[in-house]
Amino acid sequence: MSLEGKLTKAQKAAAVLVAMGKPSAGRLLRFFKHEELKALIDAARQLRTIPQSELENIVAEFEEEFTEGAGLLDSADQMNTIINESLSAEEISALMGWGKPSLISQEAPPIWPDLAELAPERLQALIKDEHPQTIAMVFSNLDSEAAANVLVTFDKKTRAEILKRMLAMTTVQPAAKQLVENQLRARMLTESRSRDASAGQAKVASVLNALDKQVLDEIVSDLEQSGVDGVEEVKARLFTFDDIVLLDQKSRVTLFDGMSTEMITLALRDAPAELVEAVLSALGARARRLIEAELSIPSDAATPAEISQARKRIAGTAISLASNGVIDLPQMQNAA
């Protein structure tokens, strides 16, 4: 009994695509609309085997060439193979309605207002690695001011390519737009979690930096042995007065520029010779002579607590300069 007359147009199209094989069919699939792809998949699931003669008639009807010897086909399995090897996981998920509902739901609030509120540099970082066509689509959905502010952060060649694609852009399929929204929403969520973790690490580091070095080293050692996450990131934010010897000369000069000789002298009391030299080498000739003269005279006026406080203030200044990108701390250099 012939199946040809009982097949729907969608089933015939599915049979032809299966007969064409993965490479050719995969290229064609990207030209189908979202609804058409779903119809093809549903049609392929209803097919079982198609005799060669009837397949030839179907192909002739579509006036398409196909690979000779397609024979009997398990259409559903073959269609799944074509889909899986031709579309990304995100595209398949959007097509079939799989995945987390919160991410692919059509009822999810648009992400564009949230993107428009981001700093231009931060939004550029989210999309800079995307294809210019995708970036053009993002800009087309942003308000003009936000898009303009981000556009100027790209180089001239990329800007021209984005604008060219925006000029040629037609209506974007809802499924494609949803895919881009989902990706951007996921990236923002990941970035937010990373920023939260970074804030926690900064807080822990600020607490540890207020401790004496001996106590600090002991606590860091305990943290390392405990295997807790984020220890290396915390260590990259730690800096004590003793670490000044690890700074490069330019950073040391910047650190002590304009700092009072009284504080420097107090911090250098009873310090190791190597540390004293590292600090003095960053000072001008006059300031160095004054501090060397003061240090040559034994003094019982400064208490250990006062010396410790002076050292912490200098270390705190270094941390503040580093957080503003003025100098690089040695741990930060090692962690990069």
Tell me the mean pLDDT in the region 65-70: 36
**Domain match, 246 and 292 both:** yes
**Residue 289 binned pLDDT confidence (cut-offs 50, 70, 90):** very high
Name the nearest CA neighbour of 75 among 133, 17, 118. Answer: 17
Instruction: Indicate whether 96 pLDDT > 60.
Output: no
**Domain match, 140 and 60 both:** no
Is there a domain that residue 326 lies in? yes
**pTM, rounded to two decimals:** 0.40
Give CA separation, 158 vs 124, 162, 203, 241, in Å.
Answer: 12, 6, 39, 46
Is there a domain that residue 73 lies in? yes
Is there a domain that residue 214 lies in? no
Share of the chain above pLDDT 70, in %: 62
Range of the domain at 304: 239-335
Q: What is the CATH number of the domain that holds 36?
A: 1.10.220
Instruction: Indicate whether 157 pLDDT > 80.
Output: yes
Tell me the mean pLDDT in the region 138-165: 89
User: Residue 18 and residue 7: Cα distance in Å, rounded?
Assistant: 15
**Domain match, 251 and 330 both:** yes
Each residue of 168-209: pLDDT tens digit?
A: 877 766 766 777 777 787 777 766 655 545 556 666 766 777
**Domain match, 272 and 324 both:** yes
- State the pLDDT at residue 278: 95
- State the pLDDT at residue 290: 94
**Residue 333 binned pLDDT confidence (cut-offs 50, 70, 90):** very low
**Residue 271 binned pLDDT confidence (cut-offs 50, 70, 90):** very high
Q: What is the CATH number of the domain that holds 282?
A: 1.10.220.30
**Domain match, 243 and 328 both:** yes
**Domain match, 168 and 245 both:** no
Is there a domain that residue 253 lies in? yes
Is there a domain that residue 104 lies in? no
Range with top average pLDDT, 60-69, 85-94, 113-122? 113-122
Q: In total, how many domains does the chain have?
A: 3
User: Residue 193 and residue 247: Cα distance in Å, rounded?
Assistant: 31
- State the pLDDT at residue 60: 64
